[in-house]
Structure 1
Amino acid sequence: MRFETDFSKQAIDAFIKIAAIAVLVYWCFSILRPFILLVVWGGIIATALYPVVVWGNNKFGFSKGKMSGGLAFVGVLLLLIPLIAISTGLYTSGSELVTGYQDGTISIPKPDASMADWPVIGEKAYAFGIQASSNLESVLLKYGEEVKAIVGKLASLVGSLGGGFIQFIISTIIAGAFMANADKCERAFILIADRLTGEHGEALTTLSKTTVRSVVQGVIGVAVIQSVMAGIGMAFVGVPALGLWMLLVMLVAIIQLPPILALLPVIFYVFSVNTTTTAVIFLIWCIIVSGSDAVLKPMLLSRGSDIPMLVILLGALGGMAMSGIVGLFVGAVVLSLTYQLFTVWLDSEAEED
């Protein structure tokens, strides 16, 4: 009887403790949930850039705190410049568009006759361009609902893009704080991993760092390189809205699709407004950009763990569906890291058996 009473007391006591901890954990999670994605992305950035901090400390004698702050400052500047440029350009272009429409001074250039030779959409696109160039008002009246829907989607896309830039800026600042306290952060992760896994905390922390840097270099790094290469080609032929097309190329590359898919509309545009020689050269350059990952990925992704492309694709698409542009980056890295840790756990279980 006494045993049953003591057991009941211990069970009730354990239940109360577990419930209290669960409430505290849920409460803390609810408070921090708006910042979790930014903190995770900041940690990924810090993990990827920390070797630069160590290099600067060893090479020039700068303290890790100063190097971390300097990298974060440069990163914020690099993000602010396109954000300000896009905002200013949209405001100026929007004002000019509204004023031109009110004054009746907006004019659409007549499309080149070669547009009619485009496959599938050539004739319809050419006819639409001729009508728009001769009587824009009738086109707007005829396709008013479609134009409103497109404008609404573009406004939503621009708003999401601006919000993504702001999130990147906040995450970059958080990354600077993480890098300045990297030793303490690493020690905390090792202690937590030791608590969860026993004696494998340091090995798992090292594996995590290697995986994150491998994915950032081999996936995000390659996408950025391809985006810059595409931007150089588009700048050479005078493609408008250069920054938006570069961003689209980078996003397509991250989800493991050929960047040529994002460049197809640009290629059609260049063939319609430039000489055939210039357009062919641009087409060849786009093919080189799209195929460059065959050379870049083995060079960068091999510097760490080997992650299947399907895992990166699912992580990128799922992250983007869950959290937008920032989720695209975070999802690819987090799912790759989880896959790698799960694989190591399975291998360790097999060795023990």
Structure 2
Amino acid sequence: MTQPQHRYDLPRIIFGVLFIATMIIASFWVIQPFILSLAWAAMVVIATWPLLIKLQKLLWGRRSLAVMAMTLLLILLFILPISLMIGSLVDNSGPVIAWASTLGKLHMPEFVWLQSLPMFGDKIYNSYHALVNAGGAALLAKMQPYFGQTATWFVAQAAHIGRLLLHCTLMLLFSVILYARGEQVALGIRHFAVRLGAERGDAAVLLGGQAIRAVALGVVVTALVQSVLGGIGLALSGIPAATWLTVLIFICCVAQLGPLLVLVPAIIWLYWSGDTTWATVLVIWSCVVATLDNVLRPMLIRMGADLPTLLILLGVIGGLLAFGLIGLFIGPVVLAVSYRLLTAWMDEAAKPTTTLQDVARNLEES
């Protein structure tokens, strides 16, 4: 008995796929200006959702009062610090540009004091000047364009003031909406995930939420606390450009490099300038700030999921290069979610138990 052959309407399928692709591209085009702000807001809401529930219980079960309290908290934690940072960047961008423009006029130092050194002083002095005369100035001239490009890039990132403020405002607006309708939004995302991957899709949503919470609590919150405390120490010690250095501390802490990369040079500068009292105070304060990482991070990571340090470092650097300052938050989250989903998919299969020698022997025999 012959089976009836199904006839496919190929033009109908092609036009259907084209229509769906067109709608997806058009929808992405419409929401593209808001994707970064929405992703930032989603990260903040997922990380702080338990706090919202606790506030709602304390405020007589009123979600509206809890949302208002969380909005004020976000303004204090994000809007005001970023506004102060932008103001400092604007005030200090002129000297940075002027410094970058004078790099090409620098000359190698003479180091005349080398001649006063016993035994080898004259030899070191003559060798140094021979190196300078042979190519030191040319080397500096070749390096100057790269210095200028680096300074220009940082100034360009700081100059995107309107874009950063717009993202902050939209993040606050989206956060309020997600706080108010969080359960409905989460149910919609889970429904879509189940439609795509059944139970695996639902599990992927849970793993993604754990990864976001791990980055927000274990990385960003720890870096925020360390940078604020380090900035307070720098400001009280009289270090110039304390706001800039605070931002740099935050970037180093998010990248898992620690605050000492900024605090140690500041301490050396204080001792060099003769202010030994404040230098000693900053040493003690820096020890407290640096060790805070070992206490605060494990406590916060228990609320999320542990993530590799290299993953966070790549996310911070890549996010900063791809999205600017907002990429400090977006980059690690994207890599963390992808990493958690990938490891969950790999864990569905058993790990190999055979050695490499056995695998090679089997290949030779086959």
What interval of TM-score do these two structures reach, taking the shorter chain for normalisation?
Answer: 0.7 to 0.9
TM-score (norm 2): 0.72
CA shift in 2, pair 1:213/1:84, >3 Å: closer
Name 1:320's counterpart in structure 2.
320
CA distance in 2, matches of 1:250, 1:91: 19
Q: Secondary structure in 2 aligned to 1:348?
A: coil
The runs of at least 4 aligned residues of structure 1 exceeding 6 Å deviation read 90-95, 145-151
CA shift in 2, pair 1:26/1:349, >3 Å: farther
Name 2:191's counterpart in structure 1.
191
Shift of 1:319: 1.3
Name 2:243's counterpart in structure 1.
243
Q: Secondary structure in 2 aligned to 1:211?
A: helix
TM-score (norm 1): 0.74
The question of whether the paired residues in 2 share the 8 Å contact of 1:83 and 1:162 is answered with: no
Shift of 1:349: 4.4
Alignment of 1:85-100 (within 5 A): 85=84
Name 1:68's counterpart in structure 2.
67
Shift of 1:47: 0.7
Shift of 1:153: 5.9
CA distance in 1, matches of 2:91, 2:315: 37
CA shift in 2, pair 1:147/1:325, >3 Å: closer
CA distance in 2, matches of 1:171, 1:32: 14
In terms of mean alpha carbon deviation, does 165-174 or 228-237 score higher?
Answer: 165-174
CA shift in 2, pair 1:208/1:293, >3 Å: same
CA shift in 2, pair 1:91/1:317, >3 Å: closer
Shift of 1:238: 2.0
Alignment of 1:173-212 (within 5 A): 173-212=173-212
Alignment of 1:332-343 (within 5 A): 332-343=332-343
The question of whether the paired residues in 2 share the 8 Å contact of 1:267 and 1:279 is answered with: yes
Name 2:35's counterpart in structure 1.
36
Work out the number of aligned pairs and report it: 301
Q: Secondary structure in 2 aligned to 1:27?
A: helix
Shift of 1:148: 8.7
Name 1:114's counterpart in structure 2.
none
CA shift in 2, pair 1:58/1:286, >3 Å: same
CA shift in 2, pair 1:146/1:193, >3 Å: closer
CA shift in 2, pair 1:25/1:153, >3 Å: closer
Q: Is structure 2 residue 252 aligned with structure 1 residue 252?
A: yes
In terms of mean alpha carbon deviation, does 272-281 or 17-26 score higher?
Answer: 272-281
CA distance in 2, matches of 1:220, 1:288: 18
CA distance in 2, matches of 1:193, 1:150: 43
CA distance in 1, matches of 2:285, 2:306: 29
Name 1:217's counterpart in structure 2.
217
CA deviations over 1:135-186 (Å, ceiling 9, x no partner): xxxxxxxxxx999989856643532466435423321221111111001011
Question: Counterpart amino acid of 2:239?
Answer: V
Name 1:20's counterpart in structure 2.
19
CA distance in 1, matches of 2:152, 2:51: 42
The question of whether the paired residues in 2 share the 8 Å contact of 1:68 and 1:177 is answered with: no
Name 1:301's counterpart in structure 2.
301
Name 2:113's counterpart in structure 1.
none
CA distance in 2, matches of 1:22, 1:146: 43
In terms of mean alpha carbon deviation, does 76-85 or 32-41 score higher?
Answer: 76-85
Name 2:168's counterpart in structure 1.
168
Question: Counterpart amino acid of 1:12?
Answer: P
The question of whether the paired residues in 2 share the 8 Å contact of 1:271 and 1:279 is answered with: yes
Question: Counterpart amino acid of 1:262?
Answer: V
CA distance in 2, matches of 1:225, 1:265: 20
CA shift in 2, pair 1:322/1:87, >3 Å: closer
Q: Secondary structure in 2 aligned to 1:198?
A: helix
CA shift in 2, pair 1:268/1:40, >3 Å: same
CA distance in 2, matches of 1:178, 1:170: 12
The question of whether the paired residues in 1 share the 8 Å contact of 2:64 and 2:180 is answered with: yes
The question of whether the paired residues in 2 share the 8 Å contact of 1:79 and 1:165 is answered with: no
Over the aligned positions, Cα root-mean-square deviation in angstroms equals 3.2
CA distance in 1, matches of 2:89, 2:317: 28
CA shift in 2, pair 1:350/1:168, >3 Å: farther
The question of whether the paired residues in 2 share the 8 Å contact of 1:76 and 1:173 is answered with: no
CA shift in 2, pair 1:94/1:214, >3 Å: closer
CA deviations over 1:88-107 (Å, ceiling 9, x no partner): 66777899x9xxxxxxxxxx
Unaligned runs of 5+ in 2: 96-144, 352-366
**Structure with greater Cα Rg:** 2
The question of whether the paired residues in 2 share the 8 Å contact of 1:45 and 1:172 is answered with: no
Question: Counterpart amino acid of 1:326?
Answer: I
CA distance in 1, matches of 2:234, 2:338: 37
CA shift in 2, pair 1:278/1:321, >3 Å: same
Unaligned runs of 5+ in 1: 98-144
